[in-house]
């Protein structure tokens, strides 16, 4: 099935803020999909575009059926 014809579904995305900008990557996808931007809004647009391109290239199989229900950030001290 053409990815454009599939119903919309939310994909959770991790966004990290660094001193030199933002990076973002989706959870629950097979393969590597990463985007970068100078602002939060820019990186969200870029990761959306990267996800679409990844699905167009590899098909709906690129979406792993085991997408997490929630994502957390935790910290430990070594």
Q: pLDDT by residue (tens digit) across 27-38? A: 988 889 999 999
Q: State the pLDDT confidence band at 45, using cuts at 50, 70 and 90.
A: very high
Higher pLDDT, 28 or 9: 28
Q: Is the pTM of this model over 0.85?
A: no
- Every domain of the chain and the residues it spans: 3-62
In DSSP notation, the chain reads --GGGSPP----EEEEEETTEEEEEESSBSS---EEESSHHHHHHHHHHHHHHHHHHH-GGGB-TT--S---------
């Amino acid at each position: 099935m053409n990815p454009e014809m599939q119903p919309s579904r939310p994909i959770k995305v991790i966004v990290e803020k660094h001193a030199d900008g933002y990076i973002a990557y989706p959870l629950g996808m097979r393969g590597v999909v990463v985007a970068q931007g100078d602002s939060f809004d820019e990186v969200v647009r870029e990761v959306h575009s990267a996800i679409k391109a990844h699905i167009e290239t590899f098909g709906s199989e690129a979406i792993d059926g085991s997408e997490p229900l929630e994502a957390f950030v935790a910290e430990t001290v070594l």
